[in-house]
Structure formats: C-alpha cells, structure tokens
Structure 1
C-alpha cells in the first residue's frame, strides 16, 4: 500500500517510527496512570474504613467530630511527604483538607 493509498483508506497518514514509538510510550504512561488511579481509589476506600471506625468510636464516647491539632499535624506531615515525592505541597494540603472535611462530615453523621 502506498502512502497515498493508506491515507485514502484510513483518513490518516501512515505512522512513522517516531510516531509509533510515541504512541507506545503514551500507551504505557496511560496504563500506569490507570493502575495508579485504581490504587488511589482502593487506598482511599481503605482509609475511609478506618475513619468511619474512628467516627463511630468518637460518637460512642461523645468525643468531638474534629481534632484541629491532629488535622494540623497531618497537614504538616503530608506537606513534608509531598516535598519528598516532588509533589506540590499546596496540592497535597488542598487534597488532605478536602479529605478531612469529608471525614468530619461522616463523623458528624455518626453523632446524629
């Protein structure tokens, strides 16, 4: 098949070696991203199992749903981990704040 035949048959020009290599690399990166997304989801699921248990325990013992000192320690710890992992600390802090707010919401539901 000539170059023109391929373009006419597929609507796309034939891929050269660089394009094929780039497509292979892209595919590999996307597969890694998909695996990491699954790890994140399952890890968050496991984390929330523990925070749910904490929420039930707090409710049973009439403890407040939030612990600002613990939250501040966790944010500082996560910012340090983010720096080690070459992740923007601001992103890590925003992400943890989002999770903390969700956990507190769950804890409040346990106390109702």
Structure 2
C-alpha cells in the first residue's frame, strides 16, 4: 500500500486495539516481574534453588489448558511462558549470586 492510499477505518480501529493490548501486556509483564523479583529474594534468603521444575511443569500444563480454552495455540503459549520462566530464573540466579535484585 502506498502512502497516498487511504487506510480503511476498520484497519485503523483494529490497530488501535492491538496497540492497547500491547500496552496492557507490557504493564502486566512489569507487574509479574515485580512479583517474581520478590520471589527471587525470598528464595535466595531461604537458600532455595532459582528453578522449581515441578512448579514450572504445573504452570506450563495450566497455561496450555487456558490457551486451548481461549482458542490460542497451546504450543505458542508454552513457548511464551518458557521464555518468561527462563528470564525469571536468570534473574533469580543473579539475585542469589549478588544478593541484590537491581536490574
């Protein structure tokens, strides 16, 4: 589509909705990582390992069921959650190594 072509209003509206959803996702992830930062500090203070494979398996299974119920590809949902989990574990390891949650 060239710059001179008019973008249909329906497309503009859908893009605005997508932008709003993206913003909500960013804020939701920020809140999630605030919680996981505290979890990392508690784990480090208690001498617990950064990763909890049994909890991860339960959470992945739960998210796959939720994704399926929401008509979202469960494989995609699992990949997304694993990405988040890996970031959380990386941060927990940093907290355990340094004793600080500063990023």
Task: Tell me the residue number matched to 2:18.
Answer: 33
Query: What is the CA-CA distance between 1:43 and the residue it aligns to?
Result: 0.2
- 1:108 aligns with 93
- TM-score with structure 2 length normalisation? 0.88
Q: Which residue of 1 aligns with 2:101?
A: none
Matched pairs, number: 95
Given the superposition, is the C-alpha separation of residues 25 and 60 from structure 1 closer, same or farther in structure 2, using an over 3 Å criterion? same
Which residue in 2 is equivalent to 1:72? 57
Q: 1:86 and 1:48 mapped to 2: Cα distance?
A: 26
If the length of structure 1 is used for normalisation, what is the TM-score?
A: 0.81
Larger radius of gyration, structure 1 or 2? 1
Shift in Å, 1:97: 0.4
Task: Give the Cα–Cα distance (whole angstroms) in 1 for the partners of residues 14 and 77 of structure 2.
Answer: 22
Report the Cα offset of residue 26 of structure 1: 0.1
Aligned to 2:75: 90
CA distance in 2, matches of 1:84, 1:42: 24
Q: Which structure shows the higher helix fraction? A: 1
- More relative contact order in 1 or in 2 (CA 8 Å, sep 6+)? 2
| Cα deviation code 1:18-59 (max 9, x no counterpart) | xx7xx0100010000000000000000000000000000000
Cα distance in structure 1, aligned partners of 2:26 and 2:59: 20
Aligned CA RMSD, in angstroms, stands at 1.6
Distance (Å, rounded) in 2 between the aligned partners of 1:24 and 1:46: 33
